[in-house]
Amino acid sequence: MTDAWELADPGRVDLRLLAAAPVEVVAPGLLHAGGLAIRYDPALLTPAVEAVPLDDDELARVWGPALYRVTLSGQALVASHTLTAGRLLSR
C-alpha cells in the first residue's frame, strides 16, 4: 500500500494510523506492526506510538484488549511525502 500526497503550501503535518498489533519502531524510517513494515521519511517525520485500551467488550472481542495509535509528526514544514506499508518478508 502506498499513500502519497503533496501540499500546495508546505505545512506542519500529523499523520495518524491505527494498528491492531503492537507497533515497534525498528529504525529511523521503519515501523513493524504485526506482519507489516511501514516506511516513512525520518528526515521529515518522527513517530510516537501509544496503546489505546479498549473498554468495550464487543470491540475487545474482535480487536483484542488494545489498539495501537501511531502519530507521525512533521518536525518542519512538509510539502510532500510517500508512506508505504507492505508485508514483512524477513526480520
- Interatomic CA distance for residues 64 and 62, integer angstroms: 6
Residue 38 CB neighbour total at 10 angstroms: 21
The pTM (predicted TM-score) of the whole model is: 0.83
30-83 per-position pLDDT tens digit: 999 999 999 999 998 999 999 999 999 999 999 999 999 999 998 778 888 888
- Interatomic CA distance for residues 14 and 37, integer angstroms: 19
Angle made by CA atoms 59, 85, 35, in degrees to the nearest 5: 60
